A = this chain, B = another copy of it.
Amino acid sequence: MGAGKTKRMPRAVREQQMLDAAVRVFGRRGYMAASMDEIAELAGVSKPLVYLYLNSKDDLFTACIRREARALTEAVRAGVRPGLSADGQLWSGLRAFFTHTARDPDAWRVLHLHARTHGERFAAEVAAMREEIVAFVTQLIAAAARDAHRDPHLPEREVAGLAEALVGAAESLADWAGATEGVTARQAAATLMNFAWAGLGDLMAGRPWSEPEDAGPELPAQAAG
C-alpha cells in the first residue's frame, strides 16, 4: 500500500510469502511458541522486513487468520454448484470443505485451533467467518426445503439450527480427519453425508423424526420447554 510504484508487486508477492511461512509456523507450533525468526527464515527474508511489512506478531497472526478464512469460505462457496440436486450440492460443498482442510492442515489448525486459543480478538475474526458460512448453509437448506415441498413446513429457526448442526459436525470431522491417519477428504465427506443426509432429506420431504414411545418420562416443562 504505502510502497512506491515500482515496489508494489514485489511487496505484495513477498507479503504472501511471509504469510505462507507464518501459516506453516503458527499452524505447527501454535501462537505462543511460533518465533518470528523461524517465520522470516522460512519466508527467505530478514526479520526486520517482516516487522516492516506486517508490523507485529499479533498483526501477522491476524493477517493469516483473515487470509485463510477468506480462502476457506471461497472454497466452500465455489464447491456448491447451484444446478445440482440438494444432496448433490451438499455432497459437493462438503467435499470442497474437507479437500481444502486436508490440503492445508496448518491453515485449518490456525483457524480452528490456534485462533480460538489466544484471546478474544483472534477468536472474533474466526467467529465472523463461521457466521458467514452458517448463513450460507442456512440459505442452502432453506432453498432445498422450499424446492422439496411448496408448503414451507420448516420454520426459519429450525433451518438455522440445522445449519449450526451441520457446520459443527463438519468442523469436528475436519479436526478428526486431520488427526487420524489415512482418513481422506472424500471419506470424511461421505461420513457426514451418511450421518446427515437421510436425516435432512427425510425432514425436507416432510417426514421429521418422531419421538420413540419408550423415551422415558417427560422432563419438567420449564426446563425442557
Q: A interface vs B, CB < 8 Å?
A: 30, 32, 81, 83-85, 87-88, 91-92, 95, 99, 102-103, 116-120, 123, 157-158, 160-162, 164-173, 175-177, 180, 183-188, 190-203, 207-209, 211-212, 214-216, 219, 223-225
Contacts and interface: CB of A to CB of B under 8 A. Distances in A.
23 contacts: A32-B120, A88-B215, A91-B215, A99-B219, A116-B117, A117-B118, A117-B123, A161-B177, A161-B183, A161-B191, A164-B172, A164-B175, A165-B195, A165-B196, A168-B170, A168-B172, A185-B225, A194-B199, A195-B199, A196-B199, A197-B199, A198-B203, A199-B200
A195 B196 contact: yes
Q: How many copies of this kind of chain does the complex include?
A: 2
Contacts of A214: 83-85, 88
The dominant DSSP class at the A interface is helix
A161 B186 contact: no
Contact of A223 (B84, B102, B223): B102
A198 B195 contact: no
A214 B186 CA distance: 16
B184 A225 contact: yes
A81 B193 CA distance: 28
Nearest to A189: B224
Contacts of A87: 209, 212
A133 to B, nearest CB: 11
A65 B30 CA distance: 22
Given A87-B212, A116-B117, A214-B84, A168 B158 contact: no
A102 B185 CA distance: 34
A172 B9 CA distance: 42
The 3 closest A-B CB pairs, nearest first, are A184-B225, A168-B172, A199-B199
A63 to B, nearest CB: 20
A167 B208 CA distance: 21
